[in-house]
Amino acid sequence: MRRATLILLPYLWLLALFLVPFVIVLKISLSDIELAIPPYTPTLDLSEGWKGLRDFFAGLDFENFVFLTTDDLYWKAYLSSLQIASIATLCTLLVGYPIAYGMANAPDHWRPTLMMLVILPFWTSFLIRVYSWMGILSTEGYLNQLLLSLGLISEPLTILNTPVAVYIGIVYTYLPFMILPIYSALERMDGSLLEAAEDLGCSRIKAFWLITIPLSKTGIIAGCFLVFIPTIGEFVIPSLLGGSQTLMIGKVLWEEFFNNRDWPVASAVAVVLLLILIIPIVLFQRNEQKQREAEG
């Protein structure tokens, strides 16, 4: 019973917080828009029992999903979100891996302090942190003032309301999600492997690429997923730092839900976005399982 309970609890958690909301959104995506509250007419009425199910499948249509293919705004938003999320994840990895590597190789008495410094930004509101970057990156912000005072530029740089500001905001916000998994993987690594490689004539750089990187692969993959998945649906950072020039699917969702009040189309956009995120994860897990089976 204890083992069954431990196994059942995560599934109940997923059922309550993932599957049920997904079914609700999927139901709305198959509904028809109406100028009412709520602004849609459901095509599935469970109160009618089997008759409601029969009528639902008889008149089932995917017109809201078809509409997404007729307007280039949506597929451009998907492609732009994928591009921004991929580049931001790569930048976060390039910044986060050296930090995690330095933490893993720091003296033991320094590691708790370094860990606290990494998670310290979480003690502050997310919105406050993003708004602070607006003050830093604006034309009259602290960054331009510093560069002008040092004589590195002759006129203020335009950083705010550009894709560069979005990348800066995403890397800063999600950097701890990249550092912590990589640090966890590097901390468990056996240092004697590097010593053995150096004794066999391998240079430090070569040993790093042949031993450290492969052994930290699980942390790298986990960190990339933790950054990429929330970034692709990000709304606050592109809206505040990117302005109207940045097109991401999170902004499109917001406009469809709250400005256009087209809940069925917005739900269809959310369902497609969820499928885009789930399918690669499932394929990756199957590939990893096949590799473990082949190694076993």
H-only helix segments in 233-262: 236-237, 249-254
Task: Dig out the tokens for 242 from the structure.
Answer: 């990117």
pTM of the model: 0.86
Q: Average pLDDT for residues 253-268, to the nearest whole number?
A: 89
Q: Measured between alpha carbons, how far is residue 258 from residues 38, 39, 253, 262 in Å?
A: 12, 11, 9, 8
pLDDT at 16: 86
Q: Which domains does the chain carry?
A: 72-295 (1.10.3720.10)
CA atoms within 13 A of residue 11's CA, in its CB half-sphere: 5
pLDDT mean across residues, the chain: 87
In this structure, are residues 250 and 170 in contact, taking their beta carbons and an 8 Å threshold? no
Highest mean pLDDT among 7-16, 174-183, 236-245: 174-183
**Would you state the pLDDT for residue 3?**
82
User: Going by C-beta distance under 8 Å and a sequence separation of 6 or more, which residues neighbour residue 47?
Assistant: none
Closest CA to 87 of 24, 17, 164, 176: 164
3-state secondary structure of 41: strand
pLDDT at 44 over 70: no
pLDDT at 79: 93
Strand-pair category, 32-33 with 40-41:
antiparallel
Residues 6+ apart with CB under 8 A from 239: 251, 254
**Does the pLDDT of residue 5 top 90, yes or no?**
no
82 contacts 277 by C-beta, under 8 angstroms: no
pLDDT single digits (tens) 82-125? 999 999 999 999 999 999 999 999 998 999 999 999 998 888 88
Lowest mean pLDDT among 21-30, 33-42, 187-196: 33-42
